[in-house]
Structure 1
Amino acid sequence: MSGDVGPRTGRSSGRPRRSSADVLADAAAELFLEQGWSRTTVDQIAQRAGVSRGTFFNYFESKADTFWLDLDATAAGLGDALRASSGASPVRRVESALVQLAAAHPADRVPWALTQSDAMGLGDDLVSSAAVRLVRIRATLTSFLCETAGAPRGDARAEVAASALLAAAATAVVTWARAGVHRRALDQEVAEALAPVADGLAGAGRAAEG
């Protein structure tokens, strides 16, 4: 869903809905804008979408999950992107995978939770729902770095590298979402944010080996 305009009108002309999850996410956004996050219930979202409460829980565990429908769909491809990545080192492979993942994200699917959070009164709920996702992604990156570097599980250097790379990528996503009419391609934003971090980590790795 585009974060630049109202929930229903933010779609590209002629773009079909992917599933009932889209309908529910749109309904949630409309209600959050109309009456605020705290006053909106799952039952109201389901009613607005024209489905049952049970149908809502077929797609989302909580109303906070509606924030991240599109980014969750993109992040689901992280494992495949990592396995298909190439690079001179594990860090470079992570860098490449994150940029490719950003390139695969539909350009018109801007998370409204990042652009209209104040209007919706999301507050700490936005932070906590984002944190859950970042922790999961960080674990995936750490595991990949350990495996490809032949390091033991939970290796401190892998933990630090995963955290640094993820922080850069996440910052790029927020910058991209909030840029409005000046928004660049997401993969360009992510690539520029990751480059100095990956350079530093790669340089530190060479120094340690030397």
Structure 2
Amino acid sequence: MATGRRGRPQVSSRAQVEVAAFELFLERGYAETSIMDIVAAAGISKTTFFRYFSSKAALVWFPFEESTRDLQRSFGTVDDEVPVMEAIRVGVIDTVAARLDDEGVWTAQIRILDASPELQAEGAQRWLVWSEVVSTFVASRIGTRPAAVVPAAVGGAVQSVVLAVLREGVRSPASPSEVLTTLDKSLASLGYSLQKWIDEQP
């Protein structure tokens, strides 16, 4: 007679695999958790894991990469009449809001990233890519290169604010709505100053 698989029922979504993996990362540490550990905890096959993620690191970074792509797409739909910093504020808030959850997966991700030297090394490069999305949008609006002073500085400043607010939201701790409120106010204040600088550009 056939018998069913023992242990946790097989999961069917990428998000559920992320949750199972994040629980292990927080309990054991990122470096100490293998893909086979994740597969066993999630109740899936190794083939299924690689259908969702190309590597263990890709599992951690997937939500971030998705958010970066969403931000880039949002800038492509902005009306030219919308001030640059207002468009950035709205785009960032919308994409961050889509990743925050009441179950605490986003806080787990921040904790895992900050606790792993291996992931921190990757993080610097990934945040640079994120800030370049902002810089590219600014450059397109003022007619210069993304690496020019103003676009690069705006991208770096916005990225720093977002990361600082998310980390503070974990340390506090704060609910997703509280994090969004703080981020919205912080970006509005930053935008008030930077918009003047942008408007001064020839």
- Given the alignment, which residue of 1, 25, 28 partners 1:32? 25
Are the equivalent residues in 1 in contact too, given 2:70–2:95 (CA < 8 A)?
yes
CA deviation after TM superposition for structure 1 residue 135, in Å: 1.8
Aligned residues: 190
In the other structure, the counterpart of 1:134 is 127
CA deviation after TM superposition for structure 1 residue 112, in Å: 0.2
In the other structure, the counterpart of 1:192 is 185
The residue type equivalent to 1:61 in the other structure is S
CA deviation after TM superposition for structure 1 residue 163, in Å: 0.9
Which whole-Å deviations, capped at 9, do the CAs of 1:51-92 have from their partners, x for residues lacking one?
Answer: 232322222233233334444443331122222345643233
What does 1:48-63 correspond to in 2, within 5 Å?
A: 48-63=41-56
Are the equivalent residues in 1 in contact too, given 2:36–2:46 (CA < 8 A)?
yes
- Given the alignment, which residue of 90, 93, 106 partners 1:99? 93
TM-score by length of 2: 0.76
Are the equivalent residues in 2 in contact too, given 1:98–1:190 (CA < 8 A)?
no
Structure 1 unaligned spans of 5+:
1-16
- For residues 59 and 121 of structure 2, what CA distance do their matches in structure 1 show? 13
- Given the alignment, which residue of 153, 161, 185 partners 1:168? 161
- For residues 97 and 181 of structure 1, what CA distance do their matches in structure 2 show? 22
RMSD of equivalent CA atoms:
2.9
Structure 2 unaligned spans of 5+:
1-10
TM-score by length of 1: 0.74
- Given the alignment, which residue of 147, 150, 156 partners 1:157? 150
- For residues 174 and 196 of structure 1, what CA distance do their matches in structure 2 show? 19
Q: Percent identity?
A: 21
In the other structure, the counterpart of 2:73 is 80
Matched, 1:45 2:38: yes
Rg larger for: 2
The residue type equivalent to 2:97 in the other structure is A
